[in-house]
Chain A
């Protein structure tokens, strides 16, 4: 029952220099792949671009063919109330459940506000969040 809630995020290694994001975004544009959400994590000299897209397999193939280092990462998207206190509510739930967040980013769009998180023990986390009445984003293909 947890499977539909596991979302395939693509992660792309990127050098920290001008034009790299443009190259990645350009490749996705050319393949007519839509980006729902993305974030950039940066370290000294390099970064990782993480993105949720409508066709993750195609995006992975296209970027790999262009020479990028790409991987899939499993994340979950938690629906938040798009008003003051929305994040606080979700964060408390995760805290109470003892779910450790490795990283997170958020967007607010058609589906409302979504918190995307990478957690350890993803299936346990999904079950516990659903048990607590939390609402999770389903993978694009199962919508």
Chain B
């Protein structure tokens, strides 16, 4: 689909790197000058803005963590006078103190710009009606998407969350063509619609889903697209990015990160070492052009793979894969980083076993062992032991292939594995270190 800002979106890679470097350098210099926090951090690390002479030198700067946002609550990181702030957003703070992010008018402008580019790249624009079923308010999703859609000339229907039946009525009556919500909410909507006698595929004009704010999979995408008759696009953004949000383009081959707005590095979560493109690791973000407060080398905790090759759509900015998990969930098995979400994704592609699993980590002598417990599906259950043994071997083989570490598999009775999300039950680590 056509570009919103062709000059920057299709800028030659080398030129774009120069732009990125210049923006990063000026951000770092500015932060050092005006922010007590950044000055102290850089001094502790023994690095000054003058030491940053290439894009790679950014790796010399210290990391920032979630705790830094909490410790400076509410406004310790702000770099502009209060009156220059156009808006606050506040993160939910489910695990501790909430964090506050602030925006100047220019920051909101760049936020809208990021989504205007994103929406144009997936074919949303004038003539579309976008139903925004993300929460409005302190959460950044609703308002972010709202501003971006207005920017590209779409008509916005700000339904926010809840009252699903009314959402479906409005979808029909106002001819919604696109919806922004969580993938699980869209599936829920599809079910409620069917109960109302409405087929989203046949009875509405819906053609685009902009889905995110929770982990989802390629299998879920296929199901949503097939069932609801739409194209489903992944969106990435968190409140800590304090502005820019990103989506896939019409090619659906990864999320385009506008690198004049956000610089992404992928690091080894255990060592902090920057990894080469194509390797799985933790995203570290630097929000370029940010005024209200800079985020420099922030450990955002999301795990992904970055692809720097230009996209077949013609855009030259790097792309990230679907978010594959959180650093907090990472297990280190014989020196290999393993995420429970990888196990989940691998199992989704094996119909012989259910999607539920439990990981048992133990240590035999000096060696870590990992056992994955899975349930045999009804279709695959055979009363021949040899068939069941073959299923177990096959699952072991597939898991080894996607985790790069040897795994044992145990077949268990249906219903015996924990059903709800949460690391505490899905992973049992018996290693005493």
Chain A residues near B (Cβ < 8 Å): 9, 11, 13-15, 20, 41-43, 45-48, 50, 67-71, 73, 102-103, 118
Contact = CB atoms under 8 A, between A and B. Distances in A.
Contacts of A67: 413-415
A15 B413 contact: yes
12 contacts: A11-B381, A15-B412, A43-B388, A46-B412, A48-B383, A48-B384, A50-B383, A68-B413, A68-B414, A69-B381, A70-B381, A71-B383
Contacts of A103: 384
Contacts of B381: 11, 13, 69-71
Contact of A11 (B378, B383, B414): B383
A48 B376 CA distance: 12
Contacts, number: 52
Interface centre among A14, A20, A48 (most CB of B within 10 A): A48
A69 B376 contact: yes
Contacts of A73: 383
Contacts of A47: 385
A13 B384 contact: no
Chain A contact residues: helix, strand, loop or mixed? strand
B383 A46 contact: no
A69 B378 contact: yes
Contact of A48 (B388, B410, B414, B415): B388
Contacts of B410: 45-46
B389 interface: yes
Given A43-B388, A46-B388, A14 B383 contact: no
B387 to A, nearest CB: 10
Contact of B384 (A15, A20, A102): A102
Interface string B385-405: 100110000000000000000
A41 B385 contact: yes
B385 A43 contact: yes
Contacts of B384: 48, 102-103, 118
Contacts of A48: 383-385, 388
Given A71-B381, A71-B382, A45 B411 contact: yes
B6 interface: no
Contacts of B385: 41-43, 47-48
A18 B388 CA distance: 21
B389 A14 contact: no
B92 interface: no
B416 interface: yes
A20 B236 CA distance: 46
Interface string B278-293: 0000000000000000
Nearest to A70: B381
Nearest to A42: B385
Contacts of B388: 13, 43, 46, 48
Contacts of A20: 413
A104 B411 CA distance: 24
A41 B386 CA distance: 10
A79 B410 CA distance: 38
